[in-house]
Structure formats: structure tokens, C-alpha cells
């Protein structure tokens, strides 16, 4: 079997066999297939696409290229959640302890954020003492004992995907539905959960800018997950504006705790309840209505918040900082941005707001760059809200005082203020579920 022949075959629009796909993934992971041939195949896939059988085999081959977590002993009770990335997206901090409090098993590996989207790892590391690494034995024991463990992603989890994504990133082949699908789903398969909810973000602050493109990706991921033996639900959620009011690691922990305490309502709680309900619905094979009722009750009776404390404590986190949120990391400088116009915020560009938080030190522009856990933004006004001259729009938090003028300029560029109140946008565009076999 020759890589040249595989490239030529896909270039000419023919489907690849299972053996050809596995030959490529194994060879590229091991280093026997060079970057220039792998990039040629990626470009051929970009233009010619792949059928579902090809995508399924590619996904499985990448998942099998490294470590895999075995959660089979939990049967249908193992769950996982994945977000395609957004601004202010702290849903994992809410959803994971929430569903664990209802009896499912959450064994999650997650990565740091990059660019304008935040990572769950960074939010957890803003809690003093939290250990993002556990031995495989401790990881398994904790999941069995309290139902939840969340650690940093193993370096050997789907290594083929890491290597291939780095290549796609510099060869203009990232935006290919088959390659995106296999990239996301290979990590989910390797993580071992039977039931998976995908939070597919849509809008200015997301990778998928339109509901139509997000639908195509979500539908494909759900179908491929099902072909690979998983139950998958995709929830398409609005990311034209940040989710919730707090952006930045410790600030987002505070808001997540507020949801679990029953103190924060609105769009953040609504999205978290929807994601959690779908996981419970799949795990227990119950109606969406029954699952939604169980989720609301877990927040209202305090069991979800207690599970969060139990989880954070088990991994070394100082739960005093969750019981007294003022003990979480704080930025040295605060700066209020006020409105210079009367009217309504007709548009808030979530990506530019996210970039503002990166300028302040809450995110990273390159891998492994340091971040400031107390930095970020608290929003007081969002798209659709009325504003008047002098009214506070947000507060910036940073340890980098010299960055405040640049951050203010970026934040103001994210806003459009007009005299007509905009039409409200949907919070959830669509829900796509695995078809019953």
C-alpha cells in the first residue's frame, strides 16, 4: 500500500477503504508518512469530502492511536460533554457536578483555552490547590466513589488528532466537515463515555458562524458517534453574545457557583439545564420532561452545589474559596467602561469581547502562555439592553494596567448602539439527537 496511491484516489473523488484510512493514520502517527503527503491528503479531503463510512473509520482510527479510557463497567451511566468553544462558556463547571449529583458517572479529560475562547482547565486552576492531574488509578477510584473527576487531557489521548490538527492549522484545511467531525469525535470516543452531549456554539464568538453550517457539523457528529456505538445529542446554542455576565477564569467560577446555589438565573442557567437534561435523558432512558424536572430539583435542593464541593475537595481544591467567593484570585486593577450614547445595544460581537479578555490577561494567544486567573470582564449590559450616557457597561479586571486603554478600545469596537431595540435571538437554535435503532 502506497500513500501516493491513497492521495491520488481521494484527489479523484473516490472513497477510501477502511484499510487505506487506518494505514494513513498509523503511518502518520508513527512518522513514516511525511507532513507533505498528509497535507496533500487533507487538501484532497477538503475538496472531495468523505462519506459516513470513511468518517467513521477515520474517527475510530484516530481514537485508537493512543490511550483510551475504559468506562464500560458503568454501562449506560457514563456521560461526557463537549463544547466547540465560546466566550464566557463556563457550562462544564455547572453541568458536570449537576449530572453527577443525579447518579451518572463523569470521567472527563479537558484542555486549556486558546485564543478568545476559555478552557475548563484554566477555570479549575483558578481554584487554589485544584489538581488537574491524577494517576489513572486515582482517577478511576474517584469516579467510582463520588461520580465525577475532571483532569487535564492526556498527552497520548488521540495523538493522531493532535498531530493532524497542527498540520491542518497551517495548510488551510481546518474548515472541513469530515476533518472537524473526526477531530472532535475521536477525542470523545477515546474518553470512553457512552452518552455524549455536544454544545455546538453558533455565532460571532464561535467557530461555526451560521446556524446552517453548525447544523451540518452537528448532524454529522451525532451520526458518526452513533455509528461508533455512542448515544449523542447536539445542542446548537447562541454565541453571538457571551454566555452569562462573567468572562475570565475566577470570575466564571463565581458565576457557575451562583447557578449551582440557585442564585443566578437567565440564559446561563437555561443552557446548563438543557445540556444536563439531555445527558440525564440518555443515561436513564427517560423522557426529556422527566430529566428536566430532575435537573431543576438538583439545583433547587442544593445537591448539585454539594456535589461540586465534594468534587473540588477530592481533587485538592480549597472549597473555602467556593463558600466565600471573595477568596478566589483577584486582579489588581479595576476599570469601568461607561456608555457615551443613549439607545439600545443592537449588537455585541462576542469574539471581540473575548479578545478584550485576552488583552487583559484572562486568555492566551499562543499555547502555554501564562494567564492571570483574576483578570476578565463583568458585563452589566448586553445586546438588546437599553443604555444611557454615563451608564456602566462593564468592569475590566486586570493585573496589567498598561493594557486597559487597548482593552477599552477593543471592547467599545464590539458594541453597536442604535435607537431601535433589536429583535431577540433564540438562545437554543436546535437539538439533534441520535436516532433510535
Task: Show which residues are catalytic.
Answer: 82, 161, 168, 183, 187
Bridge-based pairing of strands 343-348 and 415-418 is antiparallel
What single-letter DSSP state applies at residue 403? G
Exposed/middle/buried for 31, CB within 10 Å: 0-12, 13-18, 19+? exposed
How far from 53 is each of 16, 50, 67, 235, 318, CA to CA, in Å? 9, 8, 23, 24, 47
Please check whether residue 28 is in contact with residue 3, taking contact to mean a CB–CB distance below 8 angstroms: no
**C-alpha cell of residue 59:** 474517527
What is the separation of C-alpha 391 from the centre of its chain, rounded to a whole number of angstroms? 33
Please check whether residue 56 is in contact with residue 185, taking contact to mean a CB–CB distance below 8 angstroms: no
Sign of the alpha-carbon torsion through 305, 307, 313, 317:
negative
Count how many residues are written for the chain: 437
Minimal CA–CA distance to 183: which of 314, 333, 50?
Answer: 50
Residue 417 backbone dihedrals phi, psi, to 5 degrees: -115, 125
CA distance 65 to 330: 41
> Residue with C-alpha cell 485508537?
64
> Residue with C-alpha cell 479510557?
69
Amino acid at each position: 500500500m502506497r500513500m501516493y496511491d491513497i492521495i491520488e484516489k481521494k484527489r479523484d473523488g473516490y472513497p477510501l477503504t477502511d484499510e487505506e484510512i487506518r494505514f494513513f493514520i498509523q503511518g502518520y502517527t508513527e512518522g513514516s508518512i511525511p507532513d507533505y503527503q498528509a497535507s496533500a491528503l487533507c487538501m484532497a479531503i477538503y475538496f472531495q469530502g468523505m462519506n459516513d463510512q470513511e468518517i467513521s473509520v477515520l474517527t475510530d482510527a484516530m481514537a485508537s492511536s493512543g490511550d483510551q479510557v475504559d468506562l464500560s463497567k458503568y454501562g449506560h451511566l457514563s456521560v461526557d460533554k463537549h463544547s466547540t468553544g465560546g466566550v464566557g462558556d463556563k457550562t462544564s463547571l455547572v453541568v458536570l457536578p449537576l449530572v453527577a449529583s443525579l447518579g451518572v458517572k463523569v470521567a472527563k479529560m479537558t484542555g486549556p483555552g486558546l485564543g478568545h475562547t476559555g478552557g475548563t482547565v484554566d477555570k479549575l486552576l483558578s481554584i487554589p490547590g485544584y489538581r488537574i492531574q491524577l494517576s489513572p488509578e486515582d482517577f478511576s477510584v474517584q469516579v467510582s466513589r463520588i461520580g465525577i473527576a475532571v483532569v487535564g487531557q492526556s498527552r497520548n489521548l488521540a495523538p493522531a488528532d493532535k498531530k493532524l490538527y497542527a498540520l491542518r492549522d497551517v495548510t488551510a484545511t481546518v474548515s472541513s466537515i469530515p476533518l472537524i467531525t473526526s477531530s472532535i469525535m475521536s477525542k470523545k470516543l477515546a474518553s470512553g463515555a457512552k452518552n455524549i452531549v455536544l454544545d455546538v456554539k453558533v455565532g460571532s464568538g464561535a467557530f461555526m458562524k451560521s446556524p446552517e453550517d453548525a447544523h451540518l457539523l452537528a448532524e454529522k457528529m451525532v451520526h458518526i458517534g452513533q455509528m461508533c456505538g455512542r448515544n449523542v445529542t447536539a445542542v446548537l446554542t447562541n454565541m453571538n453574545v457571551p454566555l452569562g455576565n462573567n468572562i475570565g477564569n475566577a470570575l466564571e467560577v463565581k458565576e457557575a457557583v451562583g447557578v449551582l446555589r440557585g442564585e443566578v438565573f437567565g440564559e446561563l442557567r437555561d443552557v446548563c439545564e438543557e445540556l444536563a437534561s439531555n445527558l440525564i435523558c440518555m443515561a436513564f432512558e427517560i423522557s426529556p420532561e422527566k430529566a428536566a424536572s430532575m435537573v431543576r430539583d438538583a439545583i433547587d435542593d442544593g445537591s448539585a452545589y454539594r456535589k461540586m464541593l465534594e468534587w473540588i475537595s477530592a481533587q485538592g481544591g480549597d472549597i473555602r474559596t467556593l463558600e466565600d467567593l471573595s477568596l478566589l484570585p483577584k486582579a489588581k486593577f479595576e476599570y469601568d467602561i461607561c456608555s457615551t450614547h443613549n439607545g439600545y445595544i443592537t449588537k455585541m460581537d462576542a469574539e471581540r469581547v473575548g479578545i478584550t479578555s485576552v488583552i487583559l490577561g484572562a486568555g492566551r494567544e499562543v499555547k502555554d502562555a501564562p494567564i492571570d486567573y483574576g483578570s476578565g470582564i463583568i458585563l452589566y449590559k448586553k445586546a438588546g439592553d437599553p443604555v444611557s450616557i454615563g451608564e456602566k457597561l462593564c468592569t475590566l479586571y486586570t493585573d496589567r494596567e498598561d493594557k486597559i486603554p487597548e482593552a477599552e478600545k477593543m471592547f467599545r469596537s464590539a458594541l453597536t448602539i442604535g435607537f431601535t431595540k433589536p429583535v431577540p435571538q433564540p438562545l437554543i437554535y436546535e437539538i439533534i439527537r441520535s436516532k433510535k435503532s
